[in-house]
Structure 1
């Protein structure tokens, strides 16, 4: 078992190094050699864990530690806690802007690749389910207006978060933290009927 943990740790370190290189050089400029250099390892060590650049890139986006850290797994406790959970998903700090930038790079990658298209769809469905569950939570607690459809509002929330994320990465000056939070609050008022 210790060898498996070590292998998982190393794969995670390589995935993190890959994401840093992507942020600096873009997807096309990311090479196995550059990732090995960033990680402080030889190309031979990297090749032990990933045979191809494609395999490394795909793992870097799917790295369990990185992906799961994006979602708050604590149970929400009302509207205020749901808002805090959603705030942590927005690109309001360097770490989250970097995460969004990497995601946007991968979203546009491998067009027409059936396996990757399926993975993108799977991730989007998971994100929508997550947003639906957060909306359902506040609806069930009676913290929204009457007649709110949790699934429809959850899908709208997912769209809003993606829109804010893309806009804030593409034009950080136009989308500072204040504006991102205003849009989120506007969603609560107009779509969920929350009184402020």
Structure 2
């Protein structure tokens, strides 16, 4: 009787192996042969699941994005307003080894998205999801009186995305200058500014 193969499980296994290979050895070190070896497969066994390294990179990025979303869902459960916004940002910031490894996947994906319309569209869809969540938390914070500074909320979201996503690059390149404590301090300073009305 032929052996049954769970193709979805195998694809997920390959994605998990791929993003860890890329995170630790860089995009150039993540050859299809190396990924197959790490996954315990023959080199040609990857072709039915991913036709190229680019496809694996896109799937790995989506996996990392999904992991972040799972964490944000858990960390914001039961929270609203400023507290939910803070918890959300903490899950995007590279505050531990896991999230730094994830940043090492995000960075080469961004590079590919500069010239690949499909990857650019994938990234835009993901960011639109995050923007909608953050705008919702900001509206809650204004309703609750937790934010009183009169700024356009979309500008606030743009700043927070620039801060959190920029930290992914800086924490990988300059870990001593962008430690977890420094990242949290910078976020708190901005959230505190949002809470306070400007002096008249």
| Whole-angstrom distance in 2 between the partners of 1:119 and 1:81 | 25
Offset of residue 190 of structure 1: 1.8
Offset of residue 174 of structure 1: 0.8
| Whole-angstrom distance in 2 between the partners of 1:54 and 1:164 | 25
Alignment-derived partner of residue 22 in structure 1: 22
Q: Contact 1:23–1:102 (CA<8 Å) still a contact in 2?
A: yes
Give the structure-2-normalised TM-score.
Answer: 0.82
1:110-189 to structure 2, matched below 5 A, reads 111-189=114-192
Alignment-derived partner of residue 61 in structure 1: 61
Q: Contact 2:17–2:38 (CA<8 Å) still a contact in 1?
A: yes
Alignment-derived partner of residue 41 in structure 1: 41
Total equivalences in the alignment: 189
Offset of residue 95 of structure 1: 0.2
| Whole-angstrom distance in 2 between the partners of 1:162 and 1:178 | 16
Which one of 64, 68, 71 corresponds to residue 70 of structure 1? 68
Alignment-derived partner of residue 99 in structure 1: 102
Q: CA RMSD in A?
A: 2.3
What whole-Å deviation, never above 9, does each CA across 1:34-79 have from its counterpart, x for those lacking one? 101111222233222112222222222123xx42220212353343
Higher helix share: 2
- Ranges of 4+ aligned residues in structure 1 off by more than 4 Å: none
Gaps in structure 1 of 5+ consecutive residues? none
Offset of residue 80 of structure 1: 2.9
Offset of residue 119 of structure 1: 2.3
Gaps in structure 2 of 5+ consecutive residues? none
